[in-house]
Amino acid sequence: MNDILSILIFFPLVAALLGLVVAEKSIRAYGISVAAVEFILSLWLWFAFDGNDGQMQFVRQIAVIPDFGISYYVGVDGISLFIVIMATLMTLIGIIALNVEHKIKNMILTLLFLEVAMIGVFVSLDAIIFYLFWEFSLVPMLYIIGAWGGEKRLYAAVKFFIYTFAGSLVMLVGMLYMAYVYNQVTGVWSFALTDWYSLVLPVEVQNWLFWAFFLGFAIKVPMFPFHTWLPYAHGQAPTVGSVMLAAVLLKMGTYGFVRFSLPMFPDASVLYITPVAILALIMIVYTAMVAYAQKDMKQVIAYSSVSHMGVIMLGVFAMNVEGISGSVFFMLSHGIVSGALFLLVGVIYDRRHTKLISEFGGLASVMPNYALIFGVIMMASVGLPLTMGFVGEYLSLAGFFKVSPVMALIGGTSIIFGAVYMLNLYKKSFFGPVTNIANQNLKDLNRKELAALVPLVAIVIWLGVYPKPILKPIDNSVKVWVSLMHQKAQSKLAKDTIIVSKSSKEAK
Amino acid sequence: MLSPITVNMASLNFATLSPMLIAIAGGLGILIIDLAKKDLDKTLYVILTVLVLFVDLGVTLGLEINQKGLFGLIAMDGITMLGEIIIIVASMLFIPLSLTSKRFHEFSYPEFFALFLFMIAGFQFMVATDNLILIFVGLETASLALYTMIAMHNTVGAHEAAIKYFTMGALTAGFFVMGSAIIYALTGSVELYDVSKILLNRLDEPGITIPILGSIVMMMVAIGFKVSLFPFHAWTPDVYEGSSAPMAGYMSIVPKIAMMIVAIRVVEPYIDLGIDIVRYIVIAMAVITMTLANVMALLQDSVKRMLAYSSISHAGFVMAAIALGTTKANSSIFLYYFLFLFTNLGAFTLLWISRHKDKTHDTRYHHPYIKFAGMIHIEPVAAVVMAIFMLSLAGVPPFSLFWGKMYVISSAVDAGYIWLAVVMALNSAIAVYYYLKLIVYMFLIETPEGSETIYNNRSLAIEIIVGIAVFVTITSIFYIQPLNSFINYLVSASGY
């Protein structure tokens, strides 16, 4: 079973190419079965995965361009494992809930291509292969937004593409420089991450490389002030596009920080905690306020998703096990919760073809099931204890509390702000009398929508009550990487900030 | 008391001349066939030309590298070999594109094919020598043939293009001669490998930098014109616009790679001598070229003009590698151009299949963007293939030009020019906009009512060529390793 990762990457690719043969009217069944098989394969990966081992597992390395040190090098650890599972799950849910009639075949095949790119990004251990999947993920998304989007879809799609492309090209220069430095030190070319981890770089070099990688990842996250492409992309994308974007594609950025920036440049990362944290705080507070001001439901959720990504960034830059594993967990919960929220907005948009909050009111009495599910997911988004959202948000902030209590406190306002804009949204559209006649005869959730949403609700509650099966493997892997960082750190500041053991008391 | 001149026939070394001689013989053969029997179909000439080139390629590949020929004038080294391979492969891909379902004026003349083979011989002379005079002879042979071939397209635009290219070309040929004269005045030799040896001893002389600078400026005018570097690039879009689409694609590859090899031979000695001003001039030209051409390409309404500006930008990108002067940079030039050949020729060919006698969608351009709106519904396969070429030109992995870009940027990083690498990266980011624009038109914008483009110029030959191009573009990841080690071996064997 050593090649399960390759099967995971290439199965959707083969399925997408063969899918060209399948007739249009049966394509939905084809898409669901392929995505289901892929999801089961990823669950199998989880069962075969040894949760006590924090190192890379199922590693496979095949030289592609040996002269230049590029190899097909894949592996998975506790950090990437669950993101992969989330990607396959959200693809499956996205295809189940798919409601486009127009060119559905193209849509499903595009989603399968997107799945290839997403899984490829999260399991690559070679920088060039990572970059390859990273860039390739833009193409299907461009098509999804551009072909099925709203009125300004072309602008949104092109803006999305160019923003990310520009950032990642600078990152590519960083990667090539990293390989060059590796070549100077060892005499061989290598783009393998595990080789790069072993390199202790001078702090001066780290600083430059940190910002080169930062640009690539920050645009994807998207960090303030590079976030302006996201509201457009979300605003114009079809429901499934927003789901994939919020649930998985944004995680590529934060995952990149965890996988590249932190272990490779520990000193620079510690040095720049404050500026990065300030950007993250601006992201949290500013976009939360913007979210409150939105009139469009989908925009509220889009901005809330940016706001929560800020908390994930704080967790990543906490530089301790709690913060980083919390943020990895938060990536998962953010993926599931924001994905579910976009699906929910899609449900109401299908019925009324509007997303304006002012058009709604009193939906709870017309669509009780919808209101219930929306309520649960909304609570998870706000971070209510016993939902999945709470665990990650709490751990991320608790981790950052050790770095700077004040900033963690400001970050904590995301929970309050979140409650304000989400409850406001909920109150205006679900409670009160049914003011708009058009809403009086809306149908409640149908079977298809329930099939997509109920599993997500179940996961949100299950992992909120008992996160351990997921948190433990994450923890184990994060410990491995944090102790690597601690070992590599040169400056005293970095040594002090990067805390390996879970309790600060033991460290002393 | 003149001693009798003795000519050592061994130093003629006929083998090194064989690639050019085969092309010339092929051209003469075609003329003789035409003389013997009129009214033969163009298919005969096309296939004969391909066969001549096939023999030529075989002979070239069989040559030993690092030998001298024609009394020391021909330098058969690694980059000669690479240049000849690229020229012949590009020509073999180009010439079957004349087998279209519509009839075009130029291909009905057998002389077109004879001129084509003479032109190839000219380019082969150009890349195969260290001698400035022989380079000039090759350059003029090739250029005169090329001007005529452009004019044979026989439209108003083609005549304008040919005249424009000819007058400008004649002017810059003058600059090439003057540059050679200054080099001769400085060193007493027109052999470039002598030049660096002699200059090395004269570098300390006072006032020597001015003639050196003069020679390089003159040479860069000539090189810049053929490679289309700023500020000598202005002819490119007009000439490409006027020529037939495959001819434009061909011009974006073969004359440029030939002139780039000359540039390597001319510029590298100066850079190796440590005359930094030369390097700065080349880098400045390269950076301005790629940036300006990118910005200009953003503003175009015609796909063909956009591709013209994009190929200017690509040329600037590669020219920067010449200024770096490392073996890796020089190898990356050939890697880049080999990959660029298939992608760019493929892209121009897809314009070719939509060629129509009249300007159907625009009063000025044959290929405005709007012509390709909704192509995915009319010609889905062609649209997907075109999108792949565009993504490859933009440098999106895993398509071929990504690897070319990666090697060029990486060699800039290795040489310590991080800022240049960043400029290259940002330029690629600008470029993606205009490539995406075409993709957006093809896939995401609906065809305007009643103006469906008819892609009726296609033929089996064109489909095969596009098929080869797209195959090479997609599968690049599997052959980059052997290709690059082959190129690297040849480049380092010739000492660049």
- The Cα of A107 is separated from the nearest Cα of chain B by a number of Å equal to 13
Q: Which two tokens stand for residue A122?
A: 């999260």
Q: Which two tokens stand for residue B359?
A: 């300007």
Neighboring chain A residues of B406 at a CB cutoff of 8 Å? 128, 172, 176
Quote the pTM value: 0.91
| Residue ranges of B 415-444 with Cβ closer than 8 A to chain A | 418, 421-422, 425-426, 428-429, 432-433, 436-437, 439-440, 443-444
Mutate to test the interface with B, among A9, A24, A62, A68 (most CBs of B within 10 A): A68
Q: What is the mean pLDDT of chain A?
A: 89
Q: Specify the range with the lowest mean pLDDT, choosing from A234-248, A458-472, B63-77.
A: B63-77
| Site of tokens 């017309």 | A366
Q: Which candidate from B398, B410, B426 shows the least CB-CB separation from A176?
A: B410
Q: Which two tokens stand for residue B173?
A: 């040929």
| Residues lower than pLDDT 50 in chain B | none
8 Å CB contact of A64 and B481: yes
| Residue ranges of B 392-411 with Cβ closer than 8 A to chain A | 394-398, 402, 406-407, 409-410
Nearest Cα residue to B454 out of B348, B352, B356: B356
Confirm or reject contact between B15 and chain A (CB < 8 A).
Answer: no
Q: Which candidate from B421, B428, B440 shows the least CB-CB separation from A154?
A: B440
Dist. CA A414–CA A314, nearest whole Å: 12
Pairing label, strands A70-76, B67-69: unpaired
Long-range interactions of B196-201: CB distance < 8 A, separation 24+? B196/B269, B196/B270, B196/B272, B196/B273, B199/B269, B199/B273, B200/B273
Q: Which two tokens stand for residue B424?
A: 């290259």
pLDDT of residue B332: 93
pLDDT of residue A506: 43
- Confidence category of residue A24, pLDDT binned at 50, 70, 90: confident
For a pLDDT cut of 90, what percent of chain A falls above it? 46
Nearest Cα residue to B176 out of B224, B122, B144: B224
- List the single residue in A with minimal CA-CA distance to B390: A139
Mutate to test the interface with B, among A165, A184, A236 (most CBs of B within 10 A): A165
8 Å CB contact of B426 and A139: no
pLDDT of residue B139: 92
8 Å CB contact of B396 and A128: no
Confirm or reject contact between A138 and chain B (CB < 8 A).
Answer: yes
Dist. CA A401–CA A411, nearest whole Å: 10
pLDDT tens string A295-325: 888 999 999 988 999 999 999 998 888 899 9
* Crossing angle of helices B254-272 and B303-324, rounded to 10°: 20
Neighboring chain A residues of B433 at a CB cutoff of 8 Å? 158, 162
- Confidence category of residue A217, pLDDT binned at 50, 70, 90: very high
pLDDT of residue A227: 87
pLDDT at A507 over 50: no
pLDDT tens string A53-104: 888 889 999 999 888 989 999 999 989 999 999 999 999 999 998 888 888 8
pLDDT of residue B374: 83
Angle value at C-alpha B74, between B73 and B79, nearest 5 degrees: 135
- Scored b (16 or more CB within 10 A) or e, A462-471 reads ebbeebeebb
Neighboring chain B residues of A135 at a CB cutoff of 8 Å? 396-397, 402
pLDDT at A504 over 60: no
Q: Which candidate from A139, A170, A176 shows the least CB-CB separation from B391?
A: A139
Question: Which residues share a beta bridge with B131?
Answer: B191
Q: Which candidate from A64, A169, A176 shows the least CB-CB separation from B426?
A: A169
Burial of B473 (0-12, 13-18, 19+ CB in 10 A): buried
| C-alpha distances in Å from residue A401, one per residue of A116, A404, A412, A502, B201 | 37, 5, 10, 13, 69
Angle value at C-alpha B329, between B324 and B332, nearest 5 degrees: 150
Q: Which candidate from A66, A161, A172 shows the least CB-CB separation from B436?
A: A161
pLDDT at A508 over 60: no
pLDDT of residue A384: 86
| Residue type at A150 in one-letter notation | G
pLDDT tens string A483-493: 888 888 888 88
Question: Which stretches of A187-249 are DSSP H helices?
Answer: 193-197, 203-220, 229-236, 239-244
Q: Which two tokens stand for residue A230?
A: 């996201």
pLDDT tens string B282-341: 999 999 999 999 999 999 888 999 999 999 999 999 999 999 888 999 999 999 999 999
Q: Which two tokens stand for residue A316?
A: 């990543």
Question: Which stretches of B128-253 are DSSP H helices?
Answer: 132-151, 156-187, 192-202, 209-227, 235-242, 245-251
- The Cα of B90 is separated from the nearest Cα of chain A by a number of Å equal to 25
Mutate to test the interface with A, among B406, B419, B427, B487 (most CBs of A within 10 A): B406
For a pLDDT cut of 70, what percent of chain A falls above it? 98
pLDDT tens string A111-122: 999 999 999 999
- List the single residue in A with minimal CA-CA distance to B436: A158
Q: Dihedral sign for Cα A233, A234, A235, A238, please.
A: positive
pLDDT of residue B2: 64
Neighboring chain A residues of B381 at a CB cutoff of 8 Å? none
Which DSSP letter does residue A102 get?
Answer: T
Whether A457 contacts A450, CB under 8 Å: no
Mutate to test the interface with B, among A17, A62, A64, A65 (most CBs of B within 10 A): A65
Confirm or reject contact between B383 and chain A (CB < 8 A).
Answer: no
Whether B48 contacts B30, CB under 8 Å: yes
Neighboring chain B residues of A154 at a CB cutoff of 8 Å? 440, 444-445
- List the single residue in B with minimal CA-CA distance to A169: B425
8 Å CB contact of A64 and B477: yes
pLDDT of residue B273: 83
pLDDT tens string A411-456: 888 888 888 999 988 998 888 888 888 888 888 888 888 999 999 9
- List the single residue in B with minimal CA-CA distance to A163: B429
Neighboring chain B residues of A128 at a CB cutoff of 8 Å? 397, 406
Mutate to test the interface with B, among A173, A178, A190 (most CBs of B within 10 A): A173
8 Å CB contact of B484 and A67: yes
| Residue ranges of A 47-86 with Cβ closer than 8 A to chain B | 64-68
Neighboring chain A residues of B408 at a CB cutoff of 8 Å? none
Neighboring chain A residues of B440 at a CB cutoff of 8 Å? 146, 154, 157-158
Mutate to test the interface with B, among A17, A107, A171, A176 (most CBs of B within 10 A): A176
